[in-house]
């Protein structure tokens, strides 16, 4: 099995009808004890980043407006052996830059534990931005959905593995350039 971590520049236009919709769940009101929310992006990984995961894949989401930082992990990447209680290591970092989103207002970052959904919403330049993140256990994927109303989202993303060698037999990592 070969896994390539890549670096690319792309401009992504997200249409409201693509991806999943939350309309069937919109009537639900989460209980206060099931909702963690902040009015600013995370600054410290250990104190205010919000996690999502499916038992195999996981990530910590910082929620930056101009620059999003997502630190991701996969459960076989850890230090230690069968006799030692090892520690998980970060697999890599995904950095996403959002063009033209500097003057954000009405910022909200939340983790809805009931829905297992991480969301970020804010306004910038007369546009309402929404980002939704979740981990699917059946599909074994992390899903990131970015929308803007009205308008399009222009991004530049790069991914970089943390490790230079991979402890998983048969797995190959390529460094981004």
Domain segments of the chain: what residues? 1-15+37-75+89-177
Instruction: Output the pLDDT for position 63.
Output: 95
CATH of 1-15+37-75+89-177 among 3.40.50.10420, 3.30.360.10, 3.40.50.1260, 2.70.98.50: 2.70.98.50
pLDDT-derived band at 36, boundaries 50, 70, 90:
very high
pLDDT-derived band at 135, boundaries 50, 70, 90:
very high
The residue with greater pLDDT, 20 or 115, is: 115
Which distant-in-sequence residues (6+ apart) come within 8 Å of 34 by Cβ?
112, 113, 114
Q: What is the pLDDT of residues 78-116, one digit of tens each?
A: 776 666 666 667 888 999 998 888 789 999 999 999 999
The model's pTM: 0.69
Give the chain's largest Cα–Cα span.
Answer: 56
Cα angle 60-175-62, degrees, rounded to a multiple of 5: 15
Q: Kindly report the average pLDDT of the chain as a whole number.
A: 74
């Amino acid at each position: 099995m070969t896994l390539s971590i890549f670096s690319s520049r792309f401009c992504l236009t997200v249409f409201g009808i693509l991806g999943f919709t939350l309309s069937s769940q919109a009537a639900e009101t989460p209980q206060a004890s099931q909702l963690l929310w902040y009015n600013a992006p995370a600054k410290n990984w250990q104190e205010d980043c919000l996690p999502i995961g499916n038992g195999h894949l996981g990530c910590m989401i910082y929620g930056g407006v101009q620059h999003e930082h997502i630190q991701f992990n996969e459960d076989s990447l850890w230090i230690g052996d069968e006799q030692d209680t090892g520690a998980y290591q970060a697999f890599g970092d995904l950095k996403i830059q959002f063009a033209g989103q500097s003057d954000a207002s009405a910022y909200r970052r939340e983790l809805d534990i009931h829905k297992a959904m991480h969301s970020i919403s804010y306004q910038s330049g007369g546009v309402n931005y929404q980002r939704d993140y979740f981990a699917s256990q059946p599909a074994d994927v992390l899903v990131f959905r970015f929308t803007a109303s009205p308008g399009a989202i222009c991004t530049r993303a790069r991914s970089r593995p943390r490790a230079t060698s991979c402890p998983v037999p048969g797995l190959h990592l390529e460094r981004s350039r």
